[in-house]
């Protein structure tokens, strides 16, 4: 377990800024306790500084995970967010999408959100912005990328894709051997 390098931190913050904007500062400077990001086996963990100091008593070989896994770095040094960070992203999300009850299962099976399944979308959502997908009961179900800007969504036909799927809570059941969860 080690701190992130400047390049890794920039890559992580760039990805998080796509979803939560400048609220990244609120993740680190919390009123209850200071938190930080740590890298262990190409995975980025969000952990309190108190727990991080206590984990130094465990050898790196024996340490499996620590805190909440936010995602992992690929072999090409790109960062991929994991579904385990959904609780933190949904708190500070700038752009949100609500899907109809009939489209919830389709999204949870890993499909994109079509316009026919779109119930609401936040105003002024730009194209390719990170969005958090909610059910109509305001339960965060996953996140993705807006395929169309808000103003163009009204003119699309029913089969057009509005949100490109990236991760959903159904992955807890579908992905068994990845080790990310």
For residue 172, what pLDDT band results from cuts at 50, 70 and 90? confident
> What DSSP assignment string belongs to 1-32?
-EEPPHHHHHHHHHHHHHHHGGGHHHHHB-SS
CATH of domain 2-82: 3.10.450.220
Three-class DSSP category at 47: strand
Beta bridge partners of 146: 163
- Asked whether the predicted pLDDT for residue 178 surpasses 60, the reply is no
Find out whether 32 and 47 touch, Cβ atoms under 8 Å: no
Residue extent(s) of CATH 2.30.130.10 domains in the chain: 95-174
Give 124-153 pLDDT, tens digit per residue. Answer: 999 999 999 999 999 999 999 999 999 998
Report the top-level CATH class of 95-174: mainly beta
Give 15-54 pLDDT, tens digit per residue. Answer: 999 999 888 888 888 888 889 999 988 999 999 989 888 8
- Asked whether the predicted pLDDT for residue 165 surpasses 70, the reply is yes
Per-residue model confidence (pLDDT) at position 61: 82
Give 69-84 pLDDT, tens digit per residue. Answer: 999 999 999 999 999 9
Residue extent(s) of CATH 3.10.450.220 domains in the chain: 2-82
The structure tokens 């999408």 sit at: 97
Angle at 100 between CA 94 and CA 102, to 5 degrees: 140
Per-residue model confidence (pLDDT) at position 177: 55
């Amino acid at each position: 377990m080690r701190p992130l390098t400047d390049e890794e931190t920039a890559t992580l913050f760039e990805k998080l800024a796509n979803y939560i904007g400048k609220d990244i500062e609120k993740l680190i400077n919390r009123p209850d306790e200071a938190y930080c990001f740590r890298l262990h086996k190409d995975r980025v963990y969000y952990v309190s500084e108190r727990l991080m100091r206590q984990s130094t008593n465990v050898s790196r070989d024996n340490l499996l995970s620590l805190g909440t896994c936010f995602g992992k770095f690929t072999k090409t040094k790109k960062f991929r967010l994991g579904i385990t960070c959904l609780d933190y992203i949904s708190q500070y999300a700038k752009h949100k999408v609500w899907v109809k009850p009939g489209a919830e299962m389709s999204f949870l099976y890993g499909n994109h959100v079509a316009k026919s399944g779109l119930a609401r979308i936040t105003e002024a959502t730009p194209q390719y912005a990170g969005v958090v997908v909610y059910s109509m009961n305001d339960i965060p179900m996953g996140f993705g990328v807006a395929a169309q800007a808000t103003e163009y969504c009204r003119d699309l036909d029913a089969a057009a894709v509005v949100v490109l799927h990236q991760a959903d809570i159904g992955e807890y059941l579908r992905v068994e051997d990845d080790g990310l969860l």
